[in-house]
Structure 1
Amino acid sequence: MTLQPRISMITLGVADVAVSTAFYQKLGFKRSSASNDNVTFFHMRGTVLGLFGRDALAADAGLEPTRPQAFEGTALAHNLASRDEVDKAWAFAVKCGAKPVKKPHEAFWGGYSGYFADPDGHLWELAHNPFMDLDEDGHMTLPE
């Protein structure tokens, strides 16, 4: 057996599920009715984003909870069709309460990107990659 290369769900450990849920709803994410006070699920065009208490997520994995670091070594990316869309999305996220981390700029790899953090410090990159097309659902298409 092998694993199919896909991610069905991304779960973020958060300090306060209600606060984080409100933030993502301000961004425009649609909360699923499967959510409750302990976990929130958002529809994400082929993937689900889950918000779960950080300590509860550690316990579920059989790990001791740790305090978040300034940088956890992970960033979620949202690719957009143009630099203008990146600028507008970044400004909107900051208006919704995101912490500005790095203002959109010309990236060393030839694209355009910027970063913001959610209330728990989870990094989101907003990017325009002129070398990768987006399909009709906004997913990146990689060359074979």
Structure 2
Amino acid sequence: MTEHRTPVSLFFDRIVLRYPRMVIVSVLVVVALLSVQARHFRLDASADTLVLEDDRDLKYSRLIDQRYGQHDFLVVAYSPDADLLSRQTLATLAGLRDDLEKLERVCSVVSILDVPLLQSPPVKLKQLTGELPT
């Protein structure tokens, strides 16, 4: 019964197992040669290189940036010890919001204290089909 051998297994048997030291030295030489040039390798992973120039969404995004400006933003997550909408937690959030607004390079701060209808009264689904109070 003859075994069917793939080219990879034949290479492994004939070269790698027969001459292990030469294979290790060869791999080290190749790695050394490649590592000399590795310091010149640069990878640009900015958003501009990851999106096609003729993309419709990119053009629209640039139009919006021109119209309204482009600002950096920071998202701060807060996990309170008490209930999220308790007086103590809301006071802590108000203090945090005020401290952030005082920072020199901060243009605006939006928190759950500023977002309308975070906790709205219970409304039946049937009532939502009519006019909504604003």
* TM exceeding 0.5: no
Structure number with higher helix proportion: 2
Higher relative contact order structure (alpha carbons within 8 Å, sequence separation ≥ 6): 1
Alignment TM-score, normalising by the size of structure 2: 0.27
> Which of structures 1 and 2 has the bigger CA Rg?
2
Structure number with higher strand proportion: 1
